[in-house]
Chains A and B, each alone.
Chain A
Amino acid sequence: MKTQIINILLICISLGALSCEKEYVKPVKINYKQQAIDANLMADEEIENFIAPYKSRIEGEMKKVLSYAPQSMFKSQGKYNTAIGNMMADAVLEEATPIFKKQQNLNIDAVLLNYGGIRAGISKGDISVRTAFDIMPFENEVVVVELTYESVQKMIRYLMKKKIAHPIAGIQLQLNHDYTFKKASINGEEIKLNDQKDKHFYIATSDYLLQGGDEMSFFEDNKNVYHLDYKLRNILIDYFEKKEQILATVEKRFTVSDSF
């Protein structure tokens, strides 16, 4: 054992090595620099020319006029209901219903989207393809979720708790001045908060909310999910295309009494 160690030492010394450690190709120095991509860099012409035809096709398509807005509508206009929210929920109900009917021979009872999902408003004037892209830049699709009476009660409680203008259609919700429950209905059928019923409802929403987005956990506890393979943005485009005008009407779907 001892002689072995001495031998190794001798070999090392005879090789002139400073230690017996093996050598590797390794980083001896590392530098870092972050480059901001900005106007200080001259845009490469070849790349710009390559992009140009793609760009002009998009611009041509995006400025295509679909409808007209006699008045602007923004989601900040209204506490519990907004014109743009009503419009979006109505568009989903109108466009998704025939597809769901054809696919499952069933009707959609109501629509619930989320206030945060309205990504832009509509300015007075022409409504173009770009408007639809601005309102809905994401690829989310509409899904129809089959909910029990109990889950629908949870949905109503959720709306009561949040007290914001989530886009709804087919849902009526009335609260007392102290925000206690007064009355609710879905597709004309009265929903009470404390009774039990063996009834299912078909609620159209976005696949984002189905996955529990915006704390809408009642969608996760569903009986069935039907994918319509229809993007929310395309619903808007199709809806706009059919209407000569998109009116900024606010329907009182969610109300809180102001009298005592």
Chain B
Amino acid sequence: MKRRNFIKKTGVASSVLGFGSFSLLNSSLTKVEEDAKQITILHTNDVHSHIEAFSNTHAKYPGRGGAARRYAYINMVKKENPNTLILDAGDAFQGTPYFNFYGGELEYKLMSKMGYHASTIGNHEFDNGIENIAAQLAHADFKLLNANYNLKNTILDGLVKPYQTYEMDGVKIGVFGLGIELNGLVSKKLFKETEYIDPVDVAKDTVKKLKNEEECDLVICLSHLGFNYSGRKICDVKLAQQTRDIDLIIGGHTHTFLEKPSLIENLDFKNVLVNQVGWAGLNMGRIDFYMKKEKASKETLIEL
């Protein structure tokens, strides 16, 4: 079991020992950053129609969240690094009267205005029926991605793609979406002929395509499966363990507040970052990938 990633816990610069590579011996952290291309990922999950901040008297989250403040942060980061990809892991809908009144129109309009690149289908996206998802997509300038729902016999056929690739500063990024089993969670009346397919098999096929055909340098999964279940039910942690070549899983559904991404070893004993930032737009996650042409065995410094 060879660990290929090197997790750095402190901010102190240290040298990296590759095998026999003397040229890297004195490379400092800043040098790594300077030589590499920086790709920034900003992400949310389970915003649940929390367009406004919680009131200042809210028992649990006084004054937290709100789209206008989130956008201020996005702008700050984009100014720092224009090569920023903005992603969401589903359940943008349901939770405040904004959804009850407008059916998700404002949620999707705001995500478009904020420059989101992609989101995925959470179970609550179905709350006003699959037709409503199709209707609201008219307000979306971002992609709604899902690879494991067969939507062939639904109104979403052709409107939802399994994956999307993005090129930033010459780095190719593949993003794909995975959704949770709908039976027992959402009424069939709402999801209609949507067919759930095993996420692990689909993830393996999709990643292969992204790596081999699309030649992506980074692979990101937008998952609405949930962070971690002890039973047999598939979750982000199991998905990471049972696949290869996924760099990052941005999760949702379980409203899990992770202080930092979990590192889960995949089939190749490489670390996959699995993250989730609670819900309601209380937080935004920021992950910076410094990309460089290197040998596959070259260790990755991970500062969490």
Give 4 closest A-B pairs by Cβ, nearest first: A43-B68, A29-B290, A47-B68, A41-B69
- Determine the chain B residues whose CB is within 8 A of the CB of A43 once the complex forms: 66, 68-69, 72
- Determine the chain A residues whose CB is within 8 A of the CB of B29 once the complex forms: 29
Chain A residue at smallest Cβ distance from B64: A38
- Determine the chain A residues whose CB is within 8 A of the CB of B65 once the complex forms: 37-38
Query: Taking the nearest CB of chain A, how far is it from the CB of B153, in angstroms?
Result: 21
Query: Taking the nearest CB of chain B, how far is it from the CB of A76, in angstroms?
Result: 17
Contact with A along B230-245 (1 / 0, CB 8 A): 0000000000000000
Query: Taking the nearest CB of chain B, how far is it from the CB of A182, in angstroms?
Result: 36
- Determine the chain A residues whose CB is within 8 A of the CB of B291 once the complex forms: 25-28
Assembled-state Cα–Cα distance A63/B207 (Å): 50
B32 within 8 A of A: yes
Query: Taking the nearest CB of chain A, how far is it from the CB of B256, in angstroms?
Result: 13
| Chain B 271-303 interface residues, beta-carbon cutoff 8 Å to A | 273, 275, 277, 281-298, 300-303
Chain A residue at smallest Cβ distance from B99: A139
Chain B residue at smallest Cβ distance from A27: B289
Query: Taking the nearest CB of chain B, how far is it from the CB of A198, in angstroms?
Result: 30
Task: Count contacts between A and B, CB distance < 8 Å.
Answer: 177
| Chain A 167-223 interface residues, beta-carbon cutoff 8 Å to B | 207, 211
| Chain B 88-131 interface residues, beta-carbon cutoff 8 Å to A | 94-95, 97-98, 100-102, 106, 109-110, 113-114, 127-128
Q: Cβ of A37 and Cβ of B296 under 8 Å apart?
A: no
Assembled-state Cα–Cα distance A38/B293 (Å): 38
Assembled-state Cα–Cα distance A12/B102 (Å): 64
Q: Cβ of B64 and Cβ of A18 under 8 Å apart?
A: no
A-B contact pairs, 9 of them (CB 8 A): A25-B292, A27-B218, A28-B290, A30-B288, A32-B275, A32-B288, A39-B63, A43-B68, A54-B106
Count A interface residues, CB 8 Å. 44
Q: Cβ of A31 and Cβ of B287 under 8 Å apart?
A: yes
The interface centre, meaning the residue of A19, A28, A36 with most chain B CB atoms within 10 A of its CB, is A28
Contact among B101, B113, B281 with A50 in the assembled complex (CB-CB below 8 Å): B113
Contact with A along B17-39 (1 / 0, CB 8 A): 01111010000010011001100
- Determine the chain B residues whose CB is within 8 A of the CB of A18 once the complex forms: 18, 20-21, 23
A227 and B189 contact, Cβ closer than 8 Å, known pairs A30-B273, A32-B287, A54-B106: yes
A4 within 8 A of B: no
A244 within 8 A of B: no
- Determine the chain A residues whose CB is within 8 A of the CB of B288 once the complex forms: 29-33
Q: Cβ of A36 and Cβ of B189 under 8 Å apart?
A: no
A259 within 8 A of B: no
- Determine the chain B residues whose CB is within 8 A of the CB of A33 once the complex forms: 286, 288
| Chain A 37-57 interface residues, beta-carbon cutoff 8 Å to B | 37-39, 41-48, 50-51, 54-55, 57
Chain B residue at smallest Cβ distance from A231: B100
Chain B residue at smallest Cβ distance from A39: B63
Contact among A21, A27, A41, A137 with B247 in the assembled complex (CB-CB below 8 Å): A27
Assembled-state Cα–Cα distance A139/B71 (Å): 29
A62 and B287 contact, Cβ closer than 8 Å, known pairs A24-B293, A47-B113: no
Count B interface residues, CB 8 Å. 75
The interface centre, meaning the residue of A35, A42, A137 with most chain B CB atoms within 10 A of its CB, is A35
A30 and B300 contact, Cβ closer than 8 Å, known pairs A37-B69, A37-B70, A44-B69: yes
- Determine the chain B residues whose CB is within 8 A of the CB of A42 once the complex forms: 69, 72
- Determine the chain A residues whose CB is within 8 A of the CB of B53 once the complex forms: 37
Q: A26-B217, A27-B247, A31-B290 are in contact. List 4 more A-B contacts (CB 8 A).
A: A30-B287, A32-B273, A46-B71, A58-B98
Q: Cβ of A61 and Cβ of B101 under 8 Å apart?
A: yes
Contact among A34, A62, A137, A207 with B277 in the assembled complex (CB-CB below 8 Å): A34
A161 within 8 A of B: no
Chain A residue at smallest Cβ distance from B280: A37
Assembled-state Cα–Cα distance A25/B130 (Å): 39
- Determine the chain A residues whose CB is within 8 A of the CB of B171 once the complex forms: 25
- Determine the chain B residues whose CB is within 8 A of the CB of A31 once the complex forms: 287-288, 290, 303
Q: Cβ of A51 and Cβ of B296 under 8 Å apart?
A: no
B166 within 8 A of A: no
Q: Cβ of A24 and Cβ of B68 under 8 Å apart?
A: no
- Determine the chain A residues whose CB is within 8 A of the CB of B71 once the complex forms: 44, 46-47
- Determine the chain A residues whose CB is within 8 A of the CB of B289 once the complex forms: 27, 29-30
Q: Cβ of B282 and Cβ of A28 under 8 Å apart?
A: no
A24 and B217 contact, Cβ closer than 8 Å, known pairs A34-B283, A35-B284, A54-B98: yes
| Chain A 68-97 interface residues, beta-carbon cutoff 8 Å to B | none
B259 within 8 A of A: yes
Assembled-state Cα–Cα distance A25/B247 (Å): 13
A162 within 8 A of B: no
Q: Cβ of B286 and Cβ of A34 under 8 Å apart?
A: yes
Contact among B184, B218, B285 with A211 in the assembled complex (CB-CB below 8 Å): B184
B51 within 8 A of A: yes
B162 within 8 A of A: no
